[in-house]
Chains A and B, each alone.
Chain A
Amino acid sequence: MKILVGYKRVVDYNVRIQVKPDGTGVVTDGVKLSANPFDDIALEEALRLREKGVAEEVIVVGIGPADLTAHLRNGLAMGANRAIHVVTAEAMQPLTAARTFQKLIEKEQPGLVILGKQAIDDDANQTGQMLAALWDRPQATFASKVEIADGKATVTREVDAGLETIEVELPAVITSDLRLNEPRFIKLPDIMKAKSKPIDVIEFASLGIDSGDHLKTTHYAAPPKRSKGVMVKDAAELVAALKQKGLL
């Protein structure tokens, strides 16, 4: 079985995001970029399934500009067998990303696709669900535990009410939650090995995909700031202050 993994590059989660003063976007020049944390987890899960003998091949997919190569090499260094780079200079919305994955699925015929539950830049939390719909296959989102046997995946999902377990027939789309696993660290020899692993480069335009980008972002603004409050000296003063506001 082949596993296709979404491996998106985003602004590192430690970066303090600044909105450009003219409201046309956020400052991304010169800021640190990293793999979407959920995608590192998705990749780790795929690698573990390969190590268990459930899968033979793990393919990382990146959709983005020409300079995405170094980022994809990180995925290869972590352990993916090969990478697919769909080259586009334009940022795309989840429906278009899902249509792109669908094209790759037609070609690769994976038994499983693992994406992150959300990318921490746009926080859309959509691509996996949309892909599952287009592919007409099951989805198991927000996964915190995955077990695969007999052509089925049993997936525990982190939902608002607690932990839900569902069973899905393969092929299927799984999206990773934070507690699915702890991604491994990349070791130096792996970085060397990754240099000789193949990266297929596909021009987005050559895939003949209709854009599903029906939403236009017209303005970016910084969120309203909460003002700094007051420090109280002890428990009694705190209780008095909260009582005065009618909160206790």
Chain B
Amino acid sequence: MSKILVIAEHLDGKLNSSTARAVSAAAAVKPEAIDVLVLADNVDAIAADAAKIDGVSRVLTVARAENAHPLAAVLAPQIAKAADGYSHVFVPSTTFGKDVAPRAAALLGVAQLSDVMSVEGTHTFKRPIYAGNAIVTVEAEPSHVVVATIRTASWPAAASGANNAPIEALTLDVTLPSHTRFVELKQGASDRPDLQSASKVVSGGRGVGSKENFDIIFKFADKIGAAVGASRAAVDAGYVPSDLQVGQTGKIIAPELYMAIGISGAIQHLTGIKDAGTIVAINKDGEAPIFEVADFGLVGDLFKILPELEAALG
């Protein structure tokens, strides 16, 4: 029988919803147990949140001052140690998981699966390659622990509230390196919805033209309560910070509504929105490739159309 260890992602003392998505993927394996591992300096609030997630059997915590920031070099040896006895270790495929999971896998001497989008059996999974242009079925050897990152856009967050899993403190006998030190995290301070979990996202591209012009995107997003995203071209040009980038090398998202405004629809951008519910494209070029994937397309000048949309919304 399978036993799965899910590694919790958290920031500022709060559990990230990517963890509940990884729990959904774990549940799809139909395991005997799903344990969540919380590595932090202050574990209590995070562990309490994790214990509420449906399907979680136990929450294991390691409270150490070294765990204050998610440094892969510090976390990976603890994960490798805690993995003992588990058949699978699942980590969300966010920058956190992508940083730490391969390091833990290498310490365990096993290959790692990236971006699991579906579970076909206890050791059979599907994942995208070539920016999502091909989907491969991958079989892992049952003789090794399966270390995998979970493509968060493919999995709903497991429901939360009804469960009350036991929380147990874990003592791991590992020496942690001191060669890696956290300096700072500059967060794009914003009270808008989080890009990765928002149900609506409005993205702007190079067509928006400048940092100042991007206000029109923010204004419209606020009007409909959406998160804001951007193409790489818009980020490269300095219109918005890099954490807003959507695509192959940015965030992979699955909102119910995605509005691409002044974005041409390059394959690397589309990779990030393949699982969106409804895609709307607004572009002055009727031939733009974005219209090939849009559920609703509107050809025209974004500077004219956005105010009209706002007016139509009343």
Contacts and interface: CB of A to CB of B under 8 A. Distances in A.
Interface in B277-306: 277-280, 291-300, 305
A247 B313 contact: no
Contacts of B138: 215-218
A98 B296 contact: no
Contacts, number: 259
A133 B141 CA distance: 22
A211 B71 CA distance: 28
Nearest to A218: B137
A16 B293 contact: no
B129 interface: yes
| Residue among A132, A134, A161, A233 with max Cβ neighbours from chain B (10 Å) | A161
Contacts of A242: 257, 278, 280, 296
Interface stretch (A50-58, A81-89, A222-230): A222-230
Contact of A212 (B71, B111, B114, B309): B111
Contacts of A217: 136-139
A216 B139 contact: yes
Given A168-B179, A214-B144, A231-B297, A247 B200 contact: yes
Contact of B106 (A122, A133, A169): A133
What is the predominant secondary structure among interface residues of chain B facing chain A?
Answer: mixed
B141 A214 contact: yes
Contacts of A234: 298, 300, 308
Interface stretch (A66-74, A105-113, A136-144, A190-198): A136-144
Nearest to B95: A159
A104 interface: no
Nearest to A237: B298
Interface of B: 11, 71-73, 76, 94-96, 98-107, 109-115, 124, 128-141, 144, 177, 179-188, 196, 200, 224, 232, 235-236, 241-243, 248-249, 251, 256-257, 267-268, 274, 277-280, 291-300, 305, 308-309, 311-313
